[in-house]
A and B are shown apart, each in its own frame.
Chain A
Amino acid sequence: MIREKDWRNVVFDVFNYGFIALLSFLAAAPMLNLLAISLSDNAAVMGGYVTFLPVNLTWENYAVIFQSPAIYKAFTVSIQRTVLGIVISQFLTIITAYPLSKAARQFKGRNFFMWILVFTMLFDGGLIPFFMVIRNLGLLNTIWALIVPGVSAWSVILLMNFFKEVPQELEEAALLDGANHWQILWKIYVPLSVPALATLTLFAAVWHWNAWFDGMIFMTDPNNYPLQTYLRTVVVDLNSSNLHMDVTKIDMLSQRALRGAMIFVTTIPIMILYPFLQRYFVTGIKLGAVKG
């Protein structure tokens, strides 16, 4: 890209970098605060003395966490469901988005199928019937209850739009060469949509990693709880049960340092996923294809 040594550009750059730096710090502040809390002495935390630096540095909270077998179990379950979930949902999303990205003239019935998908984004029958389906299929307390329902119409629509951007000539050329739709999809569309796929993978991964409600409802054995569900049993959400406090729960309130460490430990793994995916967010792939 051509650089211009215009004074306006310098000003803009200074402003840009400074502004972004400020925003980044503001955004990162709660996490940094949590990190400091997790490394601090609990009494200091309870007294409100901890801001961004640990007070009375201690590793005890992390020690407690990593000594408990429950968290490793929960980690394993979460990793299982995330990996399986990503693989399955990405595959299904890809093969569903492709036909739908064809124009209605080309693919009869396309609009009908499209609206079937859209409808499900808005209407649902509630928890009880869904639970009964899972139960009747024998999926309760298995990892499949957390994975199988995981194709999101939203992702399909997004990917479909990215597919639409792929130039028609590529497909026509391939058809002339005798390729069938399967080959066209995997050899042309998918490689050209890497940024989109990376994005969707990220979204799917985050969704699976952060999901706690399904784990709570479908895993009847607490040993099978995924990470965030397990986290809830430790970090008590006091707001929703605020009507009738039990004295013993109040003791849990006093463990802010431990809770901070818990949150940190369960959030870090997913947060570092994005940097790995960042290298897929590159330009120019499409371009090369057309030229070639």
Chain B
Amino acid sequence: MSTKKISRRDFLRLAGLTGGAAALAACAPKMMETAVPATEAATEAAVATEAPALPKKAADLLKAAGVPLPGSPEAFKGWETPLPDVPAGYPLAEPITITTARPTDSEVVFLPKGDDLDNNVWTRSMAALFGVNFVNKLTWVESDEQAQKYNLAMAANDLPDILQDVPDDIFVQMVEADMLLELGPIWDQYASPKWKAAVEAAGAEAWRYTTVNGKRYGLPHVHDAGHDDAVLWVRKDWLDKLGLKAPETWQDVHDVALAFAEAKLGGPDTYGMLACNEFRKTWFGTLDPLWCSYGISVGWGSFGWSKAADGSLEYDGIKPAVKDVLAILQQWYADGVFRKDFYAIGPDQLTPDLSSGRVGLQFNPVWGANRASVSNTGADWLFLDIPIGGPAGRRKQTQSPWNNGRFCCPKTFEHAKEWIELTNWRIELEETVGTRMHGWEGINYNLKDGVYESTDADWAFWTVGPLGTRTGGNHNPTILGEMINHNITEWEKIPADQRDAFQAAQFADPVSVLRAKATAYIISMSQKEGLVDEFTGQPTPTMQEIWSDLVDQETEVCLSIIIGQKPLEAFDEYVANWKAAGGEQVVAEVNEWWKSIQ
């Protein structure tokens, strides 16, 4: 069997059984009810304005255009991918072109060879079904490049139609320059009931990050809840060898880490737990669960802001509890839990430690499992709850899933309606519990004698937002968790020999089963355990003046204390300086913003 790993995306983009509809998640029945009136209304409207246009069968349209159908209904141990009906009015009699701006890199692989972002089976399907051609105008690999290109496009007043992941500061500037389309009302008019229900369930939070002066200028790029949230990963085989039990409190973590370091089970350079100079929240080897268990929320590079008892916002970086955590970290560093030079390296230097088996504990989101599997035969990783032991209990840093970026359109965009209706259709196909969209045979996967094997080409990377894309996107933060849960539980019930090839493959690779379980677990926990940085506005005037200096000082002081260069008391001196240098003014301004959005 091939060693191609099944990406989390594959596993998650699955569908349920064709038969197990009754056992489905709660939203399913509701969807059925509300869907009907919508189609009726659409048909009525169509009747009123023009000749009756009935919804077409997607399969027919695709066949007529010579585009293959997804799924493998005929194959041995194959499955069928039922396609929703194409709404009335599509495909458009006169095809339109929508230009896009999106991230891409070498992981975006196309099959068959010769296809590219503008021309692949997904774009051909969209053209056949809807009469919409997607043409890519702007791409980037990483965020600095994206910012450059967006700036240049703004300066030239030449923006593509769909702008993916417009960063906060550029978004504000675009609004200021009056370049963006107000998407809110258009979405209100054309989004499907299912989509609307999901968004309305989140309340004001859903639109918070795309709203300026009461107007909604973009669609949120929604991540699954708890996407970046950490869990504790531990080397189960080391625990067993040393006869230890899984750590449950912070003291346990410390002891287990030291035991690992002393036993040198991973070679002479073994140490206890991952950490790097991004000692707050980072993407690899984060320490946020420790901070959050003391009530200190952490942002990406500085501390965060939380609600105080009186309803105002306070900056967590100057709270007394910070000292408690610094004391712990200082002790841990002195004892040898972290690597000696952790403060001189960044998160990317930590990945070799994981893959070469030098470390036994790590706080990481789901991808902790992935790294571990690369070169370590025999390594058996287990994920655990965040330990308890701080005054705030079991907490970890989380981020609002609606705050993962935004999709915006320039004012000149004329086809927002078509884009939204196309997305409605896609939600039915890709993000419904029970769907079975796994891609196209011979393109995204191969079926050989009833065995599923994924190719390197991931069809979701070819799609245009707000769903799919190279950096993910859902219409609803919990849909992913729901789909995974449904599949794990439902498919496990089917006897092994009766599963189809895709179902069988999910259980064949222990790493992806592990990741799937971790994902489902994390999503369920993020609501309960997550601590959010409440300040999500633009930098205030004083912040623009002094914030980067204050953050530099904060980082320098904290790291010096942790590595023992400065005593714990240096923190108090730092706080006094912070307040005097303008920190209090910043707090006041942040609270002004806070009041304004209540």
Direct contact of A and B (CB under 8 A): yes
Select from chain B the residue with minimum beta-carbon distance to A136: B156
Is A22 at the interface (CB under 8 A from chain B)? no
Judge whether B348 and A234 touch: CB under 8 Å: no
Judge whether B155 and A131 touch: CB under 8 Å: yes
| A247 touching B144 in the complex, CB below 8 Å, given contacts A47-B375, A254-B371 | no
Judge whether A135 and B375 touch: CB under 8 Å: no
Is A4 at the interface (CB under 8 A from chain B)? no
Is A102 at the interface (CB under 8 A from chain B)? no
Of A42, A48, A248, chain B has the most CB atoms within 10 Å of the CB of A248
Judge whether B283 and A242 touch: CB under 8 Å: yes
Chain B residue numbers with a CB within 8 Å of A251 are 7, 107, 370
Select from chain A the residue with minimum beta-carbon distance to B116: A223
Which bracket fits the contact residues of A?
Answer: 35 or more
Chain B residue numbers with a CB within 8 Å of A216 are 145, 148
Select from chain B the residue with minimum beta-carbon distance to A46: B355
Is B71 at the interface (CB under 8 A from chain A)? no
Judge whether B471 and A246 touch: CB under 8 Å: yes
Q: Mark B267-293, 1 if CB is under 8 A from A, else 0.
A: 000000000001000111000000000
Q: Mark B346-371, 1 if CB is under 8 A from A, else 0.
A: 11100110011100000001110011
Is A92 at the interface (CB under 8 A from chain B)? no
How many whole Å from B220's CB to the nearest CB in chain A?
A: 15
Contact of A248 among B156, B348, B470 (CB under 8 A): B470
Complex: A232 Cα to B104 Cα, angstroms: 11
Complex: A238 Cα to B283 Cα, angstroms: 11
Chain B residue numbers with a CB within 8 Å of A43 are 355, 374-375
How many whole Å from B117's CB to the nearest CB in chain A?
A: 8
How many whole Å from B38's CB to the nearest CB in chain A?
A: 34
| A46 touching B472 in the complex, CB below 8 Å, given contacts A222-B104, A237-B142 | no
Judge whether A236 and B141 touch: CB under 8 Å: yes
Select from chain B the residue with minimum beta-carbon distance to A247: B367
Judge whether A234 and B105 touch: CB under 8 Å: yes
Judge whether A132 and B155 touch: CB under 8 Å: yes
Complex: A157 Cα to B151 Cα, angstroms: 34
Complex: A224 Cα to B374 Cα, angstroms: 34
Complex: A254 Cα to B459 Cα, angstroms: 21
Is A106 at the interface (CB under 8 A from chain B)? no
Complex: A248 Cα to B108 Cα, angstroms: 10
Judge whether A236 and B374 touch: CB under 8 Å: no
CB within 8 Å of B: which A95-122 residues: none
How many whole Å from B300's CB to the nearest CB in chain A?
A: 5
Judge whether B346 and A242 touch: CB under 8 Å: yes
How many whole Å from B515's CB to the nearest CB in chain A?
A: 10
How many whole Å from B331's CB to the nearest CB in chain A?
A: 28
Contact of A131 among B142, B144, B156, B366 (CB under 8 A): B156
Chain B residue numbers with a CB within 8 Å of A237 are 142
Chain A residue numbers with a CB within 8 Å of B141 are 232-233, 236
Is B139 at the interface (CB under 8 A from chain A)? yes
Judge whether B366 and A247 touch: CB under 8 Å: yes
How many whole Å from B228's CB to the nearest CB in chain A?
A: 8
Is A239 at the interface (CB under 8 A from chain B)? yes
Judge whether B283 and A248 touch: CB under 8 Å: no
Complex: A233 Cα to B143 Cα, angstroms: 12
Judge whether A217 and B301 touch: CB under 8 Å: no
Judge whether A239 and B155 touch: CB under 8 Å: no
Is A240 at the interface (CB under 8 A from chain B)? yes
Judge whether A246 and B284 touch: CB under 8 Å: no
Judge whether A248 and B471 touch: CB under 8 Å: yes
Is A2 at the interface (CB under 8 A from chain B)? no
Chain B residue numbers with a CB within 8 Å of A250 are 283-284, 351, 367, 370-371
Is B149 at the interface (CB under 8 A from chain A)? yes
Contact of A44 among B113, B142, B375 (CB under 8 A): B375
How many whole Å from A147's CB to the nearest CB in chain B?
A: 20
Complex: A65 Cα to B336 Cα, angstroms: 42
Judge whether B137 and A46 touch: CB under 8 Å: no
Judge whether A239 and B348 touch: CB under 8 Å: yes
Is A252 at the interface (CB under 8 A from chain B)? yes
Is B8 at the interface (CB under 8 A from chain A)? yes
Chain B residue numbers with a CB within 8 Å of A245 are 283-284, 347
Select from chain A the residue with minimum beta-carbon distance to B471: A246
Complex: A253 Cα to B301 Cα, angstroms: 22
Complex: A245 Cα to B371 Cα, angstroms: 14
Complex: A43 Cα to B301 Cα, angstroms: 32
Judge whether A241 and B143 touch: CB under 8 Å: yes
Judge whether B106 and A233 touch: CB under 8 Å: yes
| A241 touching B152 in the complex, CB below 8 Å, given contacts A46-B374, A47-B356, A251-B370 | no
Chain A residue numbers with a CB within 8 Å of B75 are none
Is B457 at the interface (CB under 8 A from chain A)? no
How many whole Å from A261's CB to the nearest CB in chain B?
A: 13
Chain B residue numbers with a CB within 8 Å of A220 are 137-138
Q: Mark B304-325, 1 if CB is under 8 A from A, else 0.
A: 0000000000000000000000
Chain B residue numbers with a CB within 8 Å of A132 are 155-156
Complex: A232 Cα to B145 Cα, angstroms: 11
How many whole Å from B323's CB to the nearest CB in chain A?
A: 26
Chain B residue numbers with a CB within 8 Å of A42 are 374-375
Complex: A94 Cα to B557 Cα, angstroms: 56
| A248 touching B155 in the complex, CB below 8 Å, given contacts A44-B375, A220-B138, A236-B141 | no
Q: Besides the contacts A127-B152, A233-B141, what 7 more A-B pairs have beta carbons closer than 8 Å?
A: A47-B357, A48-B352, A233-B106, A239-B346, A244-B283, A250-B351, A252-B105
Would you mind naming 23 contact pairs between A and B with Cβ atoms under 8 Å apart?
Answer: A46-B355, A47-B355, A47-B375, A48-B356, A128-B155, A131-B155, A216-B145, A220-B138, A222-B104, A222-B139, A223-B116, A233-B141, A241-B142, A241-B143, A242-B346, A245-B283, A247-B367, A248-B107, A250-B283, A250-B351, A250-B367, A252-B105, A253-B351
* Top-3 shortest CB links A-B: A245-B283, A43-B375, A241-B142
Question: A residues engaging B (CB < 8 A)?
Answer: 42-44, 46-49, 69, 127-128, 131-132, 135, 216-217, 220, 222-223, 232-234, 236-254
